[in-house]
Amino acid sequence: MNKLTVALLYNSKQNAPHVEGEPWDAWNELDSEKTAGQIERALRAGGHEVIAMEGDVTLPQKLSHYKIDIAFNICEGHFGGSREAQVPAILDMLRVPYTGAGVLALALALDKPMAKRVMAFHGLPTPLFQTFVTGNEPLDARLKFPLFAKPSREGSGIGVSAKSVCRNLRELREQVQFLIQEYRQPALVEEYIEGREFTLGLLGNLAWNIKAPQPDVEPEMALAGAAGNGKKARGNGNGRANKLLPQTLPTLRVFPPLEVDLSPCPEDQAGLYTSVIKSQMYDVPKYLCPAPTTKVLRNKMERLAVNAFAALECYDFARVDLRVRQDTGEPLILEVNPLAGLQEGISDIVMGAEAVGIGYTELINGILQAALRRYGLI
């Protein structure tokens, strides 16, 4: 491949625009200089020139000094309900191609209730839920305790703690009020899913030449090299199944499920993948990849991950978080992360890739290649 000029766009933790009284974990989603450096090195190892810059309001001016071929975007944004979509919107306006999901998928996935509505439309299982805007709304009678409360538009476990698990209406009202006031956004209340926790990384694209891919794709059909094997996608029973054409099915890889075994974590984290664990004790959980599961469960989770990727119209890479209900063994999608963390040796998708022999440099350049192919640039 030709040497490209790649703009690495990120929002650095050290540039976080702190405001007084903000929650302690407010900026946990932002990336460290170390992560940016790792991505930069990987892209250089791929033979490219890299210009790294903060994705802030001066971005258009900064970009205008260079002839950029493509941006490698990991900007989480700072403010606004759709903050992850802001830099991609600017790049679309400037007609600069970029890696990862577009404006719509980023805005959608950041808003967990909205993403759950889209997944539900496509028949994808996700915990029953209700959104609380004031906190005083009557509780939906279908929701049975224990319930789980978290912010609607955060990531990295922000706002998730032992208090997220609410055993009665009093605890729920208290936690919902806390979340609304502290994080200044609606609270999402879900059924609490007791059971094992998994996450699946994905690399590549489904049908990049189709503007609106529809779900129901066999994971094995989506794997590299499996295109055109004559298998047909099975319906998912909701009448909206769509058969993707074989020639449009080349290169989405789903990495094996990674189990996050939280049992070694302190009891006060309540078996949850909290902000504290993700930011301060990421080496305490056991990360098992490929996770020890039955083939049936693994297939189910891979199918859900691929279909969630398609339903939300993710591009190039993503990660899908699930919990498997202990009583029924049913996997449920907690959320889709179109901007999965990319810390070398640490982030879940990086571990997933390693499990199938894809090293860090290959993963980062794989994301770049997927985007270039999607834009028709290679």
Ligand X SMILES: Nc1ncnc2c1ncn2[C@@H]1O[C@H](COP(=O)(O)OP(=O)(O)O)[C@@H](O)[C@H]1O
Residue number with the shortest CB distance to ligand X? 273
- Strand pairing partners for 314? none
Q: Which stretch binds ligand X (CB under 6 A): 153-161, 246-254, 281-289, 370-378?
A: 153-161
Amino acid letter at 217? Answer: V
> Binding residue for ligand X (CB under 6 A) from 84, 190, 259, 313?
190
Q: Which stretch binds ligand X (CB under 6 A): 44-52, 97-105, 172-180, 184-192?
A: 184-192
Sheet holding 187-191, edge to edge: 129-132, 187-191, 147-151, 165-166
Q: Which stretch binds ligand X (CB under 6 A): 84-92, 157-165, 218-226, 291-299?
A: 157-165
Interface with ligand X, residue 155, by CB under 6 A = yes
Q: How far is the CB of 274 from ligand X (least distance, A)?
A: 7
> Binding residue for Mg ion (CB under 5 A) from 29, 69, 316, 321?
321
- Residue 323 touches which member of ligand X, Mg ion, none, C-beta under 5-8 Å by kind: ligand X
Nearer to ligand X, 198 or 255 (CB): 198
For 138-204, give the secondary structure using H, E and C: CCCCCCCCCEEEEECCCCCCCCCCHHHEECCHHHHHHHHHHHHHHHCCCEEEEECCCEEEEEEEEEE
Please report, for residues 51, 96, 263, the alpha-carbon distance to residue 89 in angstroms, rounded to integers and kept in the order given. 20, 10, 41
Q: How many CB atoms lie within 10 A of CB 286?
A: 12
Residue 192 to residue 168: CA distance in whole angstroms: 12
Nearer to ligand X, 167 or 231 (CB): 167
Interface with ligand X, residue 183, by CB under 6 A = no
Nearer to Mg ion, 10 or 273 (CB): 273
Please report, as ranges, the residues that interact with ligand X according to CB under 6 A: 127, 148, 150, 154-158, 160, 190-193, 197, 272-273, 321, 323, 334-335
